[in-house]
Chain A
Amino acid sequence: MKEKLTSLWQKLFGDSVRAFGVVSCLFLVSLAIAPAKNHFSEWRHYQHGYLKMIRNRSDAATLQRHFEGGIQQIWLPDLGVVDRCTSCHVGLKEASLNDVSQQPFRPHPVIPHKLGQFGCTVCHRGQGAATTVAEAHNSTLAWEQPILPAKYIESSCGECHRGTLAGTPQLNQGRSMLSRYGCVHCHTVKLPDGKIMKAADDPPSLSHIADKTTREWIYAWLKDPQAYAATATMPNFKLSDDDARDISAFLIANSTTVPEDTIALSAKAAADPTAGATLYGESFCASCHAVQNAAGNLVGGNVGPELTRVGNKVKPEWLQAWLRNPRIYNPETAMPHYRFNDAQVATLTGFLLAKTDSDLLNNVHLEAATPEQVEHGKRLVADYGCASCHEITGIKKPENFAPELSRIGSKPVTQLVFLRGMQHTLPDYIATKIKQPRSFGQNLKMPQYAFTVAQIDSLTTALLALNDRSFTLPPSLTVAAKAESDYQPAGKAGKLMTDLACFSCHRINGHGGDMAPDLTWEGSSVQRQWLMEFLKNPNTLRPALIRRMPKFNLTDSEANELTDYIMTVYQSPAVDRDSMPLSGYSQGQVELGKQLYYGKYACQGCHILDTKMDKGYVGPTLTRVGSRLTAAWVFQWMKNPQALRPGTLEPNRAMSDEDARALTAFLISQKVGSKSEVAKAKR
Chain B
Amino acid sequence: MATVKTADRYFDDLRSTRVWRSVFRSGTGSSTLHRALAIQQNVFLHLFSTKVRTRMLSVSATWYLGTLTLGTFLILVATGIPLMLYYHPSAPQAYADTKDLQFVVSSGMFLRNLHRWSAHAMVFLVFAHMFKVFYRGAYRTPREFNWVIGVVLLLITLLLSYTGYLLPWDQLAYWAITVGSNIASAVPVMGNKIHFLLLGGNAVNANALLRFYVLHCMILPLTAIFFIAIHFWRIRKDGGLYSHASEPATLRAKATSSSTTATEGQ
Q: Which residues of A lie under 8 Å from residue B258 when comparing CB positions? A: none
**Does A33 interact with chain B (Cβ within 8 Å)?**
yes
- Bound Cα distance from A84 to B102, whole angstroms: 13
Chain B residues 96 to 117 lying within 8 A of chain A, measured CB to CB, are 96, 99-100, 102-104, 106-107, 109-111
Given contacts A80-B92, A142-B170, contact A35 B106 (CB under 8 A): yes
Q: Are A130 and B107 in contact (CB under 8 A)?
A: no
The contact size tier of chain A is: 10 to 19
Q: Which residues of A lie under 8 Å from residue B92 when comparing CB positions? A: 80
Given contacts A129-B96, A142-B170, contact A84 B110 (CB under 8 A): no
- Bound Cα distance from A563 to B110, whole angstroms: 81
- Bound Cα distance from A127 to B99, whole angstroms: 10
Chain B residues 57 to 107 lying within 8 A of chain A, measured CB to CB, are 92, 96, 99-100, 102-104, 106-107
- Bound Cα distance from A132 to B103, whole angstroms: 8
| Interchain CB contact (< 8 A) of B100 among A33, A35, A129 | A129
Interface string of B106-141 (1 = CB under 8 A from A): 110111000000000000000000000000000000
- Bound Cα distance from A131 to B102, whole angstroms: 9
Q: Are B99 and A130 in contact (CB under 8 A)?
A: yes
**Does A38 interact with chain B (Cβ within 8 Å)?**
yes
**Does A71 interact with chain B (Cβ within 8 Å)?**
yes
- Bound Cα distance from A129 to B103, whole angstroms: 7
- Bound Cα distance from A38 to B103, whole angstroms: 9
Q: Which of A35, A38, A71, A135 has its CB near the most chain B CB atoms (within 10 A)?
A: A38
Q: Are B107 and A35 in contact (CB under 8 A)?
A: yes
Given contacts A80-B92, A129-B96, contact A71 B104 (CB under 8 A): yes
Given contacts A80-B92, A82-B96, contact A130 B103 (CB under 8 A): yes
Q: Are B103 and A84 in contact (CB under 8 A)?
A: yes
- Bound Cα distance from A127 to B106, whole angstroms: 19
Q: Which residues of A lie under 8 Å from residue B103 when comparing CB positions? A: 84, 129-132, 135
**Does A34 interact with chain B (Cβ within 8 Å)?**
yes
- Bound Cα distance from A95 to B159, whole angstroms: 56
- Bound Cα distance from A68 to B109, whole angstroms: 25
- Bound Cα distance from A414 to B171, whole angstroms: 11
| Interchain CB contact (< 8 A) of A34 among B99, B102, B110, B171 | B110
Q: Which of A80, A84, A132, A142 has its CB near the most chain B CB atoms (within 10 A)?
A: A142
Nearest chain B CB to A17's CB is how many angstroms away? 12
Q: Are A38 and B107 in contact (CB under 8 A)?
A: yes
Interface string of B152-187 (1 = CB under 8 A from A): 000000000000000000110000000000000000
Q: Are A131 and B110 in contact (CB under 8 A)?
A: no
Q: Are A38 and B104 in contact (CB under 8 A)?
A: no
Q: Which residue of B lies closest to A34 (CB)?
A: B110
- Bound Cα distance from A82 to B97, whole angstroms: 11
Nearest chain B CB to A210's CB is how many angstroms away? 56
Nearest chain B CB to A648's CB is how many angstroms away? 47
Chain A residues 65 to 111 lying within 8 A of chain B, measured CB to CB, are 71, 80, 82, 84
Given contacts A84-B104, A142-B170, contact A129 B99 (CB under 8 A): yes
- Bound Cα distance from A80 to B110, whole angstroms: 26
Q: Which residues of A lie under 8 Å from residue B170 when comparing CB positions? A: 142
- Bound Cα distance from A127 to B110, whole angstroms: 21
- Bound Cα distance from A159 to B166, whole angstroms: 32
Q: Which residues of A lie under 8 Å from residue B106 when comparing CB positions? A: 35, 38
Nearest chain A CB to B206's CB is how many angstroms away? 16
Interface string of A101-131 (1 = CB under 8 A from B): 0000000000000000000000000010111
Q: Which residues of B lie under 8 Å from residue A71 when comparing CB positions? A: 104
Q: Which residues of B lie under 8 Å from residue A127 when comparing CB positions? A: 99
Chain A residues 37 to 67 lying within 8 A of chain B, measured CB to CB, are 37-38
Q: Are A34 and B96 in contact (CB under 8 A)?
A: no
Interface string of A407-436 (1 = CB under 8 A from B): 000000010000000000000000000000
Q: Which of B104, B170, B171 has its CB near the most chain A CB atoms (within 10 A)?
A: B104
Q: Which residues of B lie under 8 Å from residue A35 when comparing CB positions? A: 106-107
Chain A residues 342 to 385 lying within 8 A of chain B, measured CB to CB, are none
Given contacts A82-B96, A142-B170, contact A34 B104 (CB under 8 A): no
- Bound Cα distance from A131 to B110, whole angstroms: 16
Nearest chain B CB to A41's CB is how many angstroms away? 9
| Interchain CB contact (< 8 A) of B104 among A33, A80, A131, A142 | A131
Question: Could you list 5 A-B pairs, sorted by A, with CB under 8 Å?
Answer: A38-B106, A71-B104, A129-B96, A129-B103, A131-B103
Binding site for B on A (CB under 8 A): 33-35, 37-38, 71, 80, 82, 84, 127, 129-132, 135, 142, 414
Beyond A34-B111, A38-B107, A129-B104, 5 additional contacts (C-beta under 8 Å) are A38-B106, A130-B102, A130-B103, A135-B103, A414-B171
